[in-house]
Structure 1
Amino acid sequence: MTAPAVTSTDTTDRFSERSDRIIDAASTLINERGIKGTTFAEVARLVDMNQNSIAYYFKRKELLVAAAYDYSLGRIEAQVADAGAYPDPRSRVARHLSRTIDYRIGLREGRVRPVTVLSELRALDEPHRSELTARYNDIFRRVREYFGPTDSLAHRSLNSVRAHFLLQNSFWLPAWQSLYSEREFGRLEARMLEIFDRGIAPAGTRFEPHILDIGLTVREEGGDLDREAYLRAATRLINERGYRGASVDRIASELKVTKGSFYHHLDAKDDLVLECFARSYDTVSRAQQSALDTEGSYWDRLSAAISTLIDVQFSDLGPLLRTTALATLPAEPRADVVARSNRMARRFAGMMIDGISEGSIRAIDPLIASQVVMAMLNSAVDIKPWADGQDRAEAIRLYASTLAHGLFHDPD
């Protein structure tokens, strides 16, 4: 009996299956270690192949990384096209969130392929960076269209912050979904959608930015560099390029100092990300405590804390370190950083609970709402160029209106 002939279709299917396995392994590693920490050797180990076999499918590492982002963007494009076909803004947002939740459940159950977090797109080499960034920008524009026409600059600006708020909450979900079992995801989706729909402030409440003095300063022109300046520069580069991409040479070059001067201020680069996290979390904690020490309702206090932290992200006092940098940390310090992040979220939740009790905040799920706040603050730095083009207070008010009043309310 002769063996069945191997067809070109069989060969193509086998090639695609192995290629997908390699891409999935690369996505997993990028999410855990960043682009710089992802190597052919580690990818080969995950898929039980040798490095030469990996190179047969992807000749260079940058091609494999680009393929991982290509797949991830393709999945988001399909989700956005599906949601965008629904008839009105509310149903589009609901569908977008439903698809996001369904994917997270499918990932837990092993039914879907992993996607690569998009935080390091700017760290890619050309031409991949420009090509993939252009695709993300197109995704953003299509999500903005969920909310209707942008026939004026004001509507365009408002719909832009709505799109940013929705997308960033989708991307933030992996940071806190482990707090819930799969059986709770239906309720989680309903409570998130309620916040997206109506916000957390009672009807008729206007969000007015109130910026607190929390003791942050910027070095005067020509003044001596201090530790804060180093941490600020390092935070900015880590946010843009990932921890491994933010080299000592790059940080020193941006600050126009020598590497020796860098090490005068910081003991070792390995400790740098921990110090950047500590600086960022200290900033959040100071804003929270300063807000709690002010007079007024708990909505006033929560608004003040949120306004102050958005102002930090929009100003030269920032940025705060993005939580995606957690992927670079060893397990033990990572657990400590996650625990502190969760404490800050619970502090926001506590302010909401007190506000619900006194009637100054709507009856929402404060634990879920606190994570919506964390997502909004974590990603505010990404729209700093938008904020730079207008009055700062108005930019803060417009951006925070997405939380205060939801995604469908006219903040004016």
Structure 2
Amino acid sequence: MTETGLSAAASRYDRKRDQIIAAATELINELGYKGMTLTKVAQAIDLNTTSITYYFKRKELLAEAILEAAIERYNRIVDQAELEPTPFDKLHRMVWATLEQFAQIRSGDAPPVANLSHIRSLNEPLRTRLSDQYIVMFRRVRRFFEEEDGSRKHLATAQTHVLLENLFWAQAWLRRYSLGDFERVAHRFSEVLAYGVSGAGRDWDPALLTLEEPETVKGLGDMNIAFLKAAAITINDWGYRGASVDRIAAELSVTKGSFYHHLQSKDDLVLACFDLSYARVSLAQRAAERIEGDHHRKLCASVASLLALQFYGDSPLLRTTALYALPPDVRAGVIERSNRMARRYAGVLIDGITESSIKAIDPLIAAQMIMATLNTAYEMRRWAEVQSPEQAIKTYASIITRGLIPNR
């Protein structure tokens, strides 16, 4: 074969490979790793399964390619941000470039990008290999917030985690906005991430809340409650696929048969965990509404209570990354319930803006930022455990109240 022929063959190979990755990305985002099969990928692009295995021998190798492509796309966004002169400019470039990518995906001008939470679904050594690639990208972003002497590295780690998780979660709530609104959304999103929600002169002022037991668990037996608690932690740590029934049962020193005696399936368990999580958020919000003081103080109270649960509680909120384990119709209902929690925070923010305890920000966007920042706090448990609870909660909460770049 001539050099020209070899080049044409390589080009055809790359195009077909990219087509497979794009189709598989859409499936993994819609159905999760469990639902993304080589057969479904083949059907999506009118090929047979044998044709797919010519490019990817196993499903895990295809998943690795999907996630490597996603990390590379986010690395290109970091490339752009690194060229900006100031911390705010870097942050805003990250936000705008991410939203621009989501806009291109929605309009069909770019292939879909995988949710990086699927990394947890892979077995070793792929899981560690991809995690290492993500960590390299994470450290690049962390340098946006670090001082040259490294004195702020601890805080910068939390800031970077919150920024990236908010960018990833944005694709879920951006569906409510038209593409024509994305530029305005990017500015308002950058503003609340950079400078927080607290009004001028307002300090961190949390009241101690006593939260009632959620109605969700009343009437459940002790073993059912224990399964829910163990499952939330195990799924958060290992992902849906990694959180096998055997692993959850082992946490409680019971048999696999005991699990199925109490719950019909693992999917039912995930849904029950989400029910419990949102019940806890709602209880914290309602308890905060009853305390005396302005709406900034009420917001601080609910945030502090939920961060204590996330950092130190035995029944943390289930990470939204577990959404992909649910069937699409059930997942939509769970996301809608999350949006209701966010709208309640938006109401608190609107009331606070009216009384000037909250600065004039977009309350709907800020509420989504608060929900994402609280939900992802579980992953900062190791970060929190080297500090006193009071200091860890205050420092992490400052990202909500004062923002990622508070010197304004």
Give TM class, smaller chain.
over 0.9
Matched, 1:165 2:192: no
Secondary structure of residue in 2 paired with 1:56: helix
Deviation track 1:296-348 (CA, whole Å, cap 9, x = no partner) reads 11110011111111111111333211223222323443332222111111100
Matched, 1:118 2:112: no
The answer to whether the Cα contact below 8 Å between 2:31 and 2:328 also exists between their aligned partners in 1 is no
Matched, 1:92 2:74: no
Matched, 1:383 2:403: no
Matched, 1:19 2:17: yes
Secondary structure of residue in 2 paired with 1:277: helix
- 2:278 matched to which residue of 1? 281
Matched, 1:52 2:50: yes
Distance in 1, matches of 2:292 and 2:329, equals 39
Distance in 2, matches of 1:257 and 1:148, equals 46
Matched, 1:253 2:247: no
How many angstroms does 1:209 deviate by? 4.1
Distance in 2, matches of 1:126 and 1:150, equals 36
The answer to whether the Cα contact below 8 Å between 2:96 and 2:183 also exists between their aligned partners in 1 is no
- 2:176 matched to which residue of 1? 179
The answer to whether the Cα contact below 8 Å between 2:21 and 2:62 also exists between their aligned partners in 1 is yes
The answer to whether the Cα contact below 8 Å between 1:66 and 1:128 also exists between their aligned partners in 2 is yes
- 1:348 matched to which residue of 2? 345
Q: Percent identity?
A: 45
How many angstroms does 1:254 deviate by? 2.1
Secondary structure of residue in 1 paired with 2:240: coil
Alignment of 1:131-142 (within 5 A): 131-142=129-140
Cα pair distance change 1:210/1:133, threshold 3 Å = farther
The answer to whether the Cα contact below 8 Å between 1:314 and 1:380 also exists between their aligned partners in 2 is yes
- 1:310 matched to which residue of 2? 307
The answer to whether the Cα contact below 8 Å between 2:67 and 2:116 also exists between their aligned partners in 1 is yes
- 2:74 matched to which residue of 1? 76
How many angstroms does 1:6 deviate by? 6.6
Matched, 1:357 2:374: no
The answer to whether the Cα contact below 8 Å between 2:346 and 2:367 also exists between their aligned partners in 1 is yes
Distance in 2, matches of 1:24 and 1:331, equals 19
Moved more, 115-124 or 341-350: 115-124
Secondary structure of residue in 2 paired with 1:147: coil
Distance in 2, matches of 1:20 and 1:284, equals 41
Distance in 1, matches of 2:266 and 2:160, equals 36
Distance in 1, matches of 2:237 and 2:112, equals 22
The answer to whether the Cα contact below 8 Å between 2:30 and 2:324 also exists between their aligned partners in 1 is yes
How many angstroms does 1:102 deviate by? 0.7
Cα pair distance change 1:307/1:410, threshold 3 Å = farther
Distance in 2, matches of 1:310 and 1:51, equals 46
Distance in 2, matches of 1:341 and 1:89, equals 31
The answer to whether the Cα contact below 8 Å between 1:32 and 1:327 also exists between their aligned partners in 2 is yes
Distance in 1, matches of 2:332 and 2:72, equals 32
Alignment of 1:175-324 (within 5 A): 175-215=172-212, 226-324=223-321
Moved more, 366-375 or 122-131: 122-131
One-letter amino acid matched to 1:77 = N
Secondary structure of residue in 2 paired with 1:362: coil
How many angstroms does 1:187 deviate by? 1.2
Distance in 2, matches of 1:12 and 1:381, equals 45
How many angstroms does 1:14 deviate by? 0.4
Cα pair distance change 1:208/1:273, threshold 3 Å = same
How many angstroms does 1:379 deviate by? 0.8
- 1:408 matched to which residue of 2? 405
- 2:218 matched to which residue of 1? none
- 1:220 matched to which residue of 2? none
- 1:7 matched to which residue of 2? 5
Secondary structure of residue in 2 paired with 1:36: helix
Cα pair distance change 1:332/1:68, threshold 3 Å = closer
The answer to whether the Cα contact below 8 Å between 1:34 and 1:243 also exists between their aligned partners in 2 is no
Cα pair distance change 1:169/1:5, threshold 3 Å = closer
One-letter amino acid matched to 1:235 = A
Cα pair distance change 1:126/1:260, threshold 3 Å = closer
Where does the alignment leave 5 or more consecutive residues of structure 2 unmatched? 215-220
The answer to whether the Cα contact below 8 Å between 1:313 and 1:384 also exists between their aligned partners in 2 is yes
The answer to whether the Cα contact below 8 Å between 2:121 and 2:240 also exists between their aligned partners in 1 is no
The count of residues paired between Structure 1 and Structure 2 equals 401
Moved more, 348-357 or 267-276: 267-276
How many angstroms does 1:252 deviate by? 0.8
Distance in 2, matches of 1:194 and 1:54, equals 45
Q: TM-score, normalised by structure 1?
A: 0.92
Q: TM-score, normalised by structure 2?
A: 0.93
Moved more, 199-208 or 294-303: 199-208
Two-structure CA RMSD over aligned residues (Å): 2.1
Distance in 1, matches of 2:212 and 2:178, equals 40
Matched, 1:107 2:87: no
Deviation track 1:24-65 (CA, whole Å, cap 9, x = no partner) reads 122112212222222111111112111111111011111111
- 2:63 matched to which residue of 1? 65
Deviation track 1:198-238 (CA, whole Å, cap 9, x = no partner) reads 21101222214444221469xxxxxx953222112212233
Matched, 1:127 2:125: yes
Where does the alignment leave 5 or more consecutive residues of structure 1 unmatched? 218-223
- 1:35 matched to which residue of 2? 33
